[in-house]
Structures are given as structure tokens and as C-alpha cells.
Amino acid sequence: MAGGRPSPPLFAALLLVAASLRVASSSDSDVLLRFKATVSDPAGSLNSWAAGSAPCNKNVSNWAGVVCDDDGNVSGLRLEDMRLSGSLTRIVLLQSLPGLRTLSFMKNDLEGPLPEVGKFKSLRTLYLSTNKFSGAISDDAFAGMSWLKKLHLSSNGFSGPIPTSITELPKLLELRLDNNRFSGPIPDLQLKSLKLVNMSNNYLEGRIPNGFRTMDAGLFAGNKALCGDPIGVSCKPLPSESLSNQKLAVTVATVVFIVSGIVAVVVLLPQQRQMEHERLEQVQSPKKPAKDTKFASSQKEEKLESGAAGYDSGGSSKKPAKEHEQGRLVFVREGRERFELQDLLKSSAEVLGTGRFGCSYKAALLTGRSVVVKRFRDMNRVGKEDFEEHMRRMGRLSHPNLLPLVAYYYRKDEKLLVADYVPRRSLAAALHGFRAAKVPALDWATRLKVVKGIAKGLNYLYEELQILSVPHGHLKSSNVLLNDSFEPLLTDYALVPLMNQAKAAQSMVAYKSPECKQHGKTSKKSDIWSLGTLILEILTGRISMIDPTQDKDVVSLADWVNAVAEEEWTDKVLDREMRATRKSGEEMIKLLKVGLACCEANVEKRWELEEVLDRIEELKESEGDEDS
């Protein structure tokens, strides 16, 4: 063993010879070569790092990824996209490079825990994004890095809490932690200098600290349970009403909610029936001559006894509501598979979300078909007859951009509306939700298609429901579903006439319109304002700030866009993920202007829907321009 080693004098001699061959900057080269030996470089990306050559010739680098300063010292390493692997356990070797200011190992296959970067006290930038680093980061990992301006750790597997030593970096400008598994609360970064922060796609929860209140909601998207100003989610615990506009995270609360929802229906139904029987007897008693004759038929009891199997009259009835009895689902659309409330209860259910009006869930029927059931409270503005009349009206609506109402269930303090299930997510989720790495953001062509579809659906509602002052009433991105071919389907339309007025005023989008704020009344053009806001949301990728729980301090999207100079719209307003080309960029700006015209606060000046529709129809995807 010992015989294999050079004897100490010989070893020293070799070192001397080696040293005498070196030029001035040899030590940088030495350090780099020793470091190179500790990483795995299967692609040979570092082949230019070779003994006998110098990494720097003045400010010109001879070695791949080495950045040189004017004195010929190594000032940075940009080893990006080089397929390096291994775990940087010996990164401390680089401490012997006195001029090192920048370290980037982005886009490699590096793994293991965060390397010991805290030792590099004079580092300005540290980029480790898009690797396979993992594990928790010790709380003091960045302590004392008083020059650090940019820290990018995106797209790794880091977990555990965000280290508080980050909060003490006095010069930090950019902090990217997105696409990791950081959990727990966001620490209060009292960093006045911070220009960019990205916390999206982690498991963070709790209140977003005040210091971030003006930041873009997208930077916090895709987390477990955040709340606070940027994302427009109130931090008050409201288990049944905790819909965040943009994301329907299935939280423990909603699971509890659905269980309680089902229990409520299961438990209440038999009682309900009992009451109905009792009421039926009353109705049938001669003292109360039945005005309500439809409850008095003996058929009814038969049907109630026979339960789910008994109701098979199919779509043949011309007046489905006449068959209505309490405790039953009433089908408003012809040619649909019939089922009973009990079938829904027996089916496997999954919470889709909890909204301001109640919970909605997906129920898979035994036949394999799925439906969406929405429970509504506060839906008592009109009496039963008017309610049924309106349901029939809705049952007659049919348009490719409307999610059809299939059936309803009426009870005094609760209504269920049943619609087809669309196996796709909401526009809100597509725009702002968690995006798995492989699912691309919506491109311009898709967004334009979505806008066109929404406008057509809205126009249809205007034509068919002229008696309503606000035909849709609740148009927003979470009420637009996208099917497999990204055709939008409007949901939750035409509900204004049913909702209790106070609830409508508090919760429905049309009531957030400027005219409503000014005069307390919606107008025929309130839906057009909602459409405009939605168009702006689609183009900017920003969440529209129409969260009714926080009326004050909320800047409307239109005001926000208008505050940016028109020349800067392309850079500052349009969502970059649409990937604008020169020509499509022009079309985007045109659509942005349509959106703004729809948001015009003066109702007189606000466009009519026809004009909006014409302007939108004219827009092109501009495929085949300089990109292709």
C-alpha cells in the first residue's frame, strides 16, 4: 500500500516543478480543476477545463462557463444546461476563488441537499434552479450573505420551511422559490429592495405577509392554503364560503363540508318525506281545499314508495314541472337519463368546490355518467311557482357555450341544481391554477377562442332572456368551464332573479359593476362590464379583483391596465405566456381595448353587446405570421 505512494521528498519535488510551470493566474485554474473532479460530467461539457491552459485571458474566458473580470480573475461560474450530475458536496473548494461573485448551476441534474453556499459571503447571484436538489434547508443557510441580490432555487425538490436567514439578506432583489415543496407559512420578508418574488407551486399556507400585498397573485398560485391580499382570499375562517376565485383546492375543510352536506341531505330527506306525508294529509283534508292540487294526487305516494326505480317517465312529459313533487329531482330537459336524488346520494361524490352560494360536487351515477350538483342557499327571492317557471325557462336554453341545466330539487331553504359534468377545469384554474410542468399555459389562439365562445354564450343569453335585466349576472373565470377542445361553457348564469337580493348584491359579479357602486342598481350592461373584466383577466393572466369581501383597496383590472402607458402594454400588461408575435401582439392589443371599452364606467358610453361581439369576431389568431 505505502509503496504505491510517492515518498514525501519526491512528492514535494513534483509540486515544485508543477508550480514553476504556472503563470500568475494558475491558482484559479487549480481550484477549478479540483472542483471539476468532484462533479460528474457525462456530456463532457467541461472538457475545455484542462491543465496547462488558463481559464481567463484578461476578461476573455477560455473555459466553458467561466466568467472572467478585467483583471483576469474568475468572477463567476455559469455552468448552465450542461447535464452535470452529482451533488456539489465539495463546492467549498470554490471559496479559494477570491473574485467569485456569481454562481449558476441552472438546468442540470444535480442532486442532494442544498450545497454549502452560505460560505460564499461575497456572492451576488446564486442560481440553482431546475435541478434535483432536495430536502429541507437549514434555517441559517444564507446567514451573512450580505451582498446577495438574486437567489433562484426554482424547480427543485426543496422541502420544509423557507429558511428565515433569507429574511435577513439586506440586498436581496430577486427570490425565486417556485416549484418546490416548501411548506408552512411565508416568513415576513421585510426587504424593501425586493423586486421579484415567486413562491408559486409549493405547499405554503397561511397569511401572505403584508409586505407582499401589492404583488401579483400568480406569484403565490398553486400553494396549499394561502390567504391574504395578493390572491384576494380572505384569511377569516369561513369553512363553507371559502372559495378563492382562482383555485378550488380540495382542502380538509371542503371534505368535511361535503360529508356534512351529504349527511344533511341524507338525514333531512327522510324527515322531509315524513313532513311531506304529513303535509299531504293536511292538504288532502277537506278543511284545506287543495289549491296545491299537484301534491294531492295519490300517484304521489306510489312514487314515493317505489323510490328511485319508480321514476322512469323519461323525457316524454311536456310539462315536467307539473310532475314536480317535493323531495324529487325535477328534470327540465328532454332526452336525459333520469335518476333520483337517492341515486346521487348513493353515487361516489367528489367536491368540486365551495362557492359563495354553497357547495358543488361531482356525482358519478351507476350508469357511469357524471353530473355536477350545486347546493344553493339564499335562493328565495321568488316563490315556488316562479322558481319552477324560471327553471323551465332555463331548461329550454341550449347553446354550445352554455352548460345545460338538467334538473333541480326544490326545498324551501335549499335548492339543488344538477348540470352535466364537464371533465375539464375552469378557466380560472387554467389561467391561475397549479400547472404541472408538462401542461403548457393557454396560448393566444386558445385564449381568443375562449373569449369568442364566452361572448357568443353571453349573446345567446341576452337574446333568450330579454326579460332579465342581467341575463348572466355572475360571469367570471371560475364560472367558465373548458371542455376537451377548450370550448368555453358558461355556468351559474341567469340566477340573479332567484337569489335573495342581499346575497346577490354581496356576491354576484354584476353587482360589482361601476353603475351598481354608483347608483346601487345593475343595468342591462352590467354583464358587459363583467365580460370586459374577464377579457382583461384572460389577457393579463391576473386575477380580477372582484372579491366582494374586500371592496376597499381593490384596484379593478381596468384601472390597473389604464394606469400603464399604452406603449408598455405589450411588455407590462399582456401575459407573456401567450407568447406574442408581432402580428398576434397587435390582435391582443385590439382585444385589450375591447375589454377596456366593456369596462367603461359610464354606462351610456359602454358598448352594446352587439358591437363587442362584432369587434371580437374580427380578431384573428394570426397564425402563419413570422413565427412559422
Ligand X SMILES: *[C@@H]1O[C@H](CO)[C@@H](O)[C@H](O)[C@H]1NC(C)=O
Interacting residues with ligand X (CB under 6 A): 24-25, 59, 71, 73, 98-99, 154, 178-179, 198, 200-201, 219
What span, in angstroms and rounded, lies between the C-alpha atoms of 141 and 137? 7
- Residue 415 in grid coordinates: 335548492
What span, in angstroms and rounded, lies between the C-alpha atoms of 113 and 351? 37
Give the residue closest to ligand X by C-beta.
178
- Residue 135 in grid coordinates: 430536502
- Residue 226 in grid coordinates: 394561502
What span, in angstroms and rounded, lies between the C-alpha atoms of 416 and 418? 6
Give the dihedral sign, CA 313/314/318/321.
positive
Q: How far is CA 527 from CA 396, 514, 515, 568, in A?
A: 21, 11, 11, 28
Smaller CB separation from ligand X, 191 or 341: 191
Q: Tell the smallest beta-carbon distance from residue 59 to ligand X (Å).
A: 4
Smaller CB separation from ligand X, 173 or 364: 173
What span, in angstroms and rounded, lies between the C-alpha atoms of 14 and 195? 52
Q: Tell the smallest beta-carbon distance from residue 32 to ligand X (Å).
A: 14
Beta strands in 162-293 (DSSP E): 174-176, 181-184, 196-198, 203-207, 225-227
Smaller CB separation from ligand X, 154 or 507: 154
Smaller CB separation from ligand X, 154 or 491: 154
Q: Tell the smallest beta-carbon distance from residue 178 to ligand X (Å).
A: 3
Q: Tell the smallest beta-carbon distance from residue 198 to ligand X (Å).
A: 4
Smaller CB separation from ligand X, 73 or 507: 73
Q: Tell the smallest beta-carbon distance from residue 154 to ligand X (Å).
A: 6
Smaller CB separation from ligand X, 99 or 548: 99
Q: Which amino acid is at 285?
A: S
Pick left, alpha or beta for residue 110 (phi over 0 → left; psi -120 to 50 → alpha; otherwise beta). beta
CA 8 from centre of chain = 65
Q: Tell the smallest beta-carbon distance from residue 61 to ligand X (Å).
A: 8
Q: Tell the smallest beta-carbon distance from residue 99 to ligand X (Å).
A: 4
Give the dihedral sign, CA 409/414/419/423.
negative
Q: Tell the smallest beta-carbon distance from residue 166 to ligand X (Å).
A: 17
Q: How many residues does the chain have?
A: 628
Q: Are the C-beta atoms of residues 83 and 106 closer than 8 Å to each other?
A: no
Q: Tell the smallest beta-carbon distance from residue 108 to ligand X (Å).
A: 17
Q: Tell the smallest beta-carbon distance from residue 201 to ligand X (Å).
A: 5
State the DSSP H helix or E strand holding residue 628, giving kind and residue range, or none if neither: none
Smaller CB separation from ligand X, 249 or 345: 249
Within 484-546, where are the H helices?
A: 501-507, 514-519, 526-540
Q: Are the C-beta atoms of residues 43 and 109 closer than 8 Å to each other?
A: no
Smaller CB separation from ligand X, 24 or 467: 24
Smaller CB separation from ligand X, 1 or 24: 24
Q: Are the C-beta atoms of residues 332 and 418 closer than 8 Å to each other?
A: no
Give the other-Cβ count within 10 Å of 365's Cβ: 16
Say which residues have a Cβ less than 8 Å from residue 612's Cβ, sequence separation at least 6. 455, 528, 531, 594, 597, 598
Smaller CB separation from ligand X, 194 or 219: 219
